[in-house]
Amino acid sequence: MLSALDLARRIEAGTLSPAGVIDLCVKAIDAREAEIGAFAALDLDRARRVAASPALGSAPLRGLPVGVKDIFETADFPTEFGSKIYAGNRPRADSVLVSMVERAGGIVLGKTVTTEFASLQPAGTRNPRNPAHSPGGSSSGSAAAIAAGMLPIALGSQTGGSVIRPAAYCGVAGFKPSYKLLPTLGMKGFSWYLDTAGAFAASVADVAYAAAAITGRNLRVDQGTPAPPRIALARTHIWGDASEAMQAAVETSAQKARAAGARVNEVVLPPIFEDAFRAHAIIQDYEAYRALAFEYDHHREKIGPILRQQLDQAAALTADAYDAARRTTKRARQALADLMTDTDVLLTPSAPGAAPAGLASTGASIFNRLWTLLGTPCVNVPGLADKAGLPLGVQIVGRFGRDRLALEAALFVERAIAG
């Protein structure tokens, strides 16, 4: 994989040029893209032109290629949202996050494959760790492009588990920040209360570096040794839905973190979190029926069967049910704050197990929905694998607004696993 930090340091030191970084990406793309299918659009000529421009200056992402999930509008690339309805669509402007990437000196290399409107309807991307398996979704192309070494940084989005799950399946670092830390203006919406922009990179320090550069915030974790975090292992009420290998991965991570000096205890989540888990689907589907109203009302026949059925059923959800789900969310947020007064982060699975075989499903977001709903920062920590060599990701969940602390804890766990 291409480490964003390593490339940035080499550019800074003058031992590698932005054009040279693009060459590294191109080499991997030539070798793997035909099989993996991570890109929805690619423009290497444009990237080389931008890389040669003096306007890049000394911005922190200077010269680093970035892949943009094709759910973000871009003026210089087609933007199809994974949908036939938007074939050839070319917006007039870049989405806000893309502009922020370019302000930071990043070079958009291409658009990465999204499932249809970032839903559960799979696209054709394959998992670079084993092409017979799904890369997860909905940020399928972003996670796969990082795993295949085709990009150092990629943008994604999560409404259920669309950043953390594909990161886990592909064995890369994924960061879903606190709700709206990364702006979603110009991103196709599915559920405005849940849609959260995120990022992928090779390791935790790389994704933190990217997030820091894009936001101009103090999120880097590569400039010192992280303090041992106070971790609570949270099995959640769906622990039984995690594979044995995933359960073992989480427990191994906890043991290694403790051995490395972290305080690790266990926490049992009170019943309000089960209510909140169920509230997620109500909020998501109620809003999706409205967010995709134009497409559903005018182009229903061009919507894939999984998403179409989801929207068909969503039509029956009432405002009362939605409001009740919002109130449950509010209570659960308070309950989480109360629960974590003495805890830095939770440790929990990133997904039910390793990437599913075949491309018919992108897997389940059951270990992600609750945290998306609660708006907390989440990091997929890569480094473990099952017996077949498929990655198993563990998830660090922080407190709302404490993104840096979540990234530091994730780095600590990543090092403990590796060490």
Asked if the peptide bond before residue 138 counts as cis, ω within 30 degrees of 0, the response is yes
At residue 86, what is the residue type?
A: Y
Which of 124, 290, 316, 358 is close enough to bind its own copies by CB under 8 A?
290
Least separation in angstroms between residue 59's CB and its own copies is 12
Is-contact 118 159, C-beta < 8 A? yes
Handedness of CA 170, 161, 68, 132 (dihedral sign): positive
Task: Please provide the size of the chain in residues.
Answer: 419
Question: Rounded to whole angstroms, what are the CA distances from 350 to 75, 169, 239, 251, 353?
Answer: 34, 9, 11, 13, 8
Question: In angstroms, what is the minimal distance from the CB of 193 to its own copies?
Answer: 7
Among residues 3, 130, 183, 260, the one that binds its own copies under rule CB under 8 A = 183
- C-beta atoms surrounding 322 within 10 Å: 17
Separation of CA 271 from chain center: 27
When binding is defined by CB under 8 A, the residue of 13, 34, 319, 360 that contacts its own copies is 319
Shortest separation between residue 327's beta carbon and its own copies, angstroms: 9
Q: State the minimum distance, in angstroms, from the CB of residue 99 to its own copies.
A: 3
Q: How far is Cα 335 from Cα 348, in angstroms, rounded to an integer?
A: 18
Instruction: Dig out the tokens for 277 from the structure.
Output: 């888990």
Q: Is 86 in the site for its own copies (CB under 8 A)?
A: yes
Round to whole Å and give the CA distance between 190 and 401. Answer: 23
Smallest separation (angstroms) from its own copies to the CB of 43: 17
Decide if residue 301 touches its own copies (CB under 8 A): no
Shortest approach of its own copies to residue 398 CB, angstroms? 16
Shorter beta-carbon distance to its own copies: residue 33 or 295: 295
**What single DSSP character describes residue 389?**
S
Interacting residues with its own copies between 338 and 397 (CB under 8 A): none
Part in contact with its own copies (CB under 8 A); list of ranges 89-97, 203-211, 274-282, 349-357: 89-97
Determine the interface stretch with its own copies among 151-159, 167-175, 178-186, 203-211 (rule: CB under 8 A): 178-186
For 69, 166, 167, 181, 246, the CA distances from 356, given in Å and listed in that order, are 21, 11, 14, 31, 13
Count, residues near its own copies per rule CB under 8 A: 34
Nearer to its own copies, 239 or 400 (CB): 400
Q: Pairing relation of β-strands 196-201 and 173-176?
A: antiparallel
* C-alpha span between 12 and 62 (Å, rounded): 9
Site string for its own copies, 120-159 (x = CB under 8 A): ----------------------------------------
- 212-251 residues near its own copies, rule: CB under 8 A: 215-218
49 sits near its own copies (criterion: CB under 8 A): no
For the sheet with 345-349, list strands across it: 39-42, 107-112, 65-69, 153-158, 196-201, 173-176, 378-385, 391-397, 345-349, 230-234, 263-267
Phi and psi angles of residue 127, each rounded to the nearest 5 degrees, phi first? -85, 120
CB 347 to its own copies: min, Å: 27
Select 30 or 323, whichever has its Cβ closest to its own copies.
323
Does residue 103 bind its own copies (CB under 8 A)? yes
- CA 160, 166, 171, 175 torsion-angle sign: negative
From the list 116, 206, 295, 408, which residue makes contact with its own copies (rule: CB under 8 A)?
A: 295
Of positions 39, 77, 193, 367, contacts its own copies by CB under 8 A: 193
Decide: is 94 part of the binding site for its own copies (CB under 8 A): yes
Task: Rank residues 131 and 183 by Cβ distance to its own copies and give the closer one.
Answer: 183
Give the interface with its own copies as residue ranges (CB under 8 A). 75, 86, 89, 92-94, 96, 98-100, 102-103, 180, 183-186, 189, 192-193, 215-218, 287, 290-291, 293-295, 297, 319, 323, 401
